């Protein structure tokens, strides 16, 4: 048996390859500080776990879920957006329940584009966006993200040809991998740009709860006209340390949400209802746990940046997400630097070129280990005498 041509065309799973390298080093007994992962290191808050336990004991939740999710979770998503962002969401027509937002991001091109159509992707960007390109038989152009533009795409720099053929645009702020954040003004510009060129917008709001220095990340749907052209995808993975629970949702434009729901009608039977019930509790109960988690990441960020600058590594503090986007030293490519750190210092980082052409020259570091381990990581790097 051979894999189908479609499977053969899929890109190599970047994070799977990274995990394999780390596991090989660990199997050798090495003390690897893994800064390459994007997996939250803290447990799910107890009140959410208790909600799951109670819901799991209800026999009604042992049956198939409604195809489009339980009403309680759709309402909770709407209530969450009203409370957090003052955005009105119709729980019946403007919410799609997702088995984690990765599913939504990969399936959206299949739902709203035709083979041969074009979409716009940020570069650097989340590698799994490319999976939807291949599975949807579509093409893509990139929007380079540069530090000098705060890692925001410059729509004016796109050619007329690119703007004319684009039918779907992906954004992600706070940004993975750069840690950049977006302003309301940028999102309003995006909505105008999308409306002018008849482009659908999907904003990946995975790190929506993680903004630093007292700045709360902005929702795309807060921008005037945003719901006319697009949707936003929100995962509970990062806000509530629920990565393994695989639960999230999309909200926004009713026609786009319906397209997602229709394709999911054929692919899934939604999520285990008890998980959905617990997710509803997470969204509607006290957000103290999310606030404390953000503070934890901010402390870790501060330690990393202070220590890096102490050894002469000129880094910029990320404004959001739980990643830092750090320049590689002169004379190294992203991959060479990442390999050096693993081989000589037992530190795993994600090479920037794994996130796209314009990621070259950087490595992504996750703030997903303790402050002590972050300090130790920088001390190990200091011993390599790379920064003068």
**CA 175 vs CA 20, 139, 204, 273: distances in Å:** 25, 23, 9, 31
The Cα–Cα gap between 155 and 197 comes to 11
Segment 356-383, tens digit of pLDDT: 999 999 999 999 999 999 999 999 999 9
What DSSP element (H or E) covers 257? helix 254-267
Report pLDDT for 70.
97
**CA 108 vs CA 65, 166, 258: distances in Å:** 22, 15, 11
* pLDDT beyond 80 at 114: yes
The Cα–Cα gap between 213 and 211 comes to 7
Q: What is the mean pLDDT of residues 346-351?
A: 96
pLDDT range class, residue 139, cuts 50, 70, 90: very high
The Cα–Cα gap between 194 and 78 comes to 24
Report pLDDT for 388.
74
Q: Which domains does the chain have, with CATH numbers?
A: 5-44+288-382 (3.90.1150.10), 62-284 (3.40.640.10)
- Tell me if the pTM is above 0.85: yes
Report pLDDT for 15.
75
* pLDDT beyond 80 at 31: yes
Least confident range from 9-13, 63-67, 158-162: namely 9-13
**CA 263 vs CA 106, 258, 259: distances in Å:** 12, 9, 6
């Amino acid at each position: 048996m051979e894999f189908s041509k479609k499977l053969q065309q899929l890109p190599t799973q970047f994070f799977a390859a990274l995990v394999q390298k780390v596991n090989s080093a660990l199997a050798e007994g090495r003390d690897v500080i893994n800064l390459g992962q994007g997996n939250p290191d803290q447990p799910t808050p107890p009140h959410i776990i208790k909600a799951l336990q109670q819901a799991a004991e209800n026999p009604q939740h042992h049956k198939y879920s409604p195809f489009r999710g339980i009403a309680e979770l759709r309402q909770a998503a709407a209530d969450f957006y009203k409370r957090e962002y003052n955005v009105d969401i119709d729980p019946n027509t403007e919410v799609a329940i997702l088995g984690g937002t990765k599913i939504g991001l990969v399936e959206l091109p299949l739902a709203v584009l035709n083979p041969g159509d074009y979409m716009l992707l940020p570069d650097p960007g989340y590698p799994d966006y490319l999976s939807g390109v291949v599975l949807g038989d579509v093409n893509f152009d990139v929007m380079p993200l540069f530090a000098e533009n705060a890692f925001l795409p410059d729509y004016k720099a796109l050619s007329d040809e690119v703007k004319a053929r684009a039918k779907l645009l992906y954004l992600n702020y706070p940004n993975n991998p750069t840690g950049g954040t977006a302003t309301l003004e940028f999102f309003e510009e995006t909505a105008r740009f999308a409306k002018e060129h008849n482009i659908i917008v999907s904003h990946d709001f995975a790190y929506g709860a993680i903004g630093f220095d007292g700045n709360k990340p902005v929702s795309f749907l807060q921008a005037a006209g945003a719901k006319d052209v697009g949707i936003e995808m929100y995962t509970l993975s990062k806000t509530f340390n629920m990565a393994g629970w695989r639960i999230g949702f999309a909200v926004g434009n009713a026609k786009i949400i319906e397209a997602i729901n229709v394709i999911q009608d054929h692919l899934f039977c939604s999520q285990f209802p008890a998980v959905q019930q617990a997710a509803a509790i997470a969204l509607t109960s006290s957000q103290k746990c999310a606030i404390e988690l953000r503070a934890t990441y901010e402390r870790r960020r501060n330690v990393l940046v202070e220590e890096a600058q102490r050894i002469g590594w000129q880094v910029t503090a990320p404004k959001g997400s739980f990643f830092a986007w750090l320049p590689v030293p002169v004379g190294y490519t992203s991959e060479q630097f990442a390999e050096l750190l693993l081989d000589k210092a037992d530190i795993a980082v994600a090479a920037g070129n794994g996130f796209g052409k314009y990621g070259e020259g950087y490595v992504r570091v996750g703030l997903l280990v303790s402050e002590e381990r972050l300090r130790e990581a920088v001390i190990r790097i200091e011993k390599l005498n790379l920064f003068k």
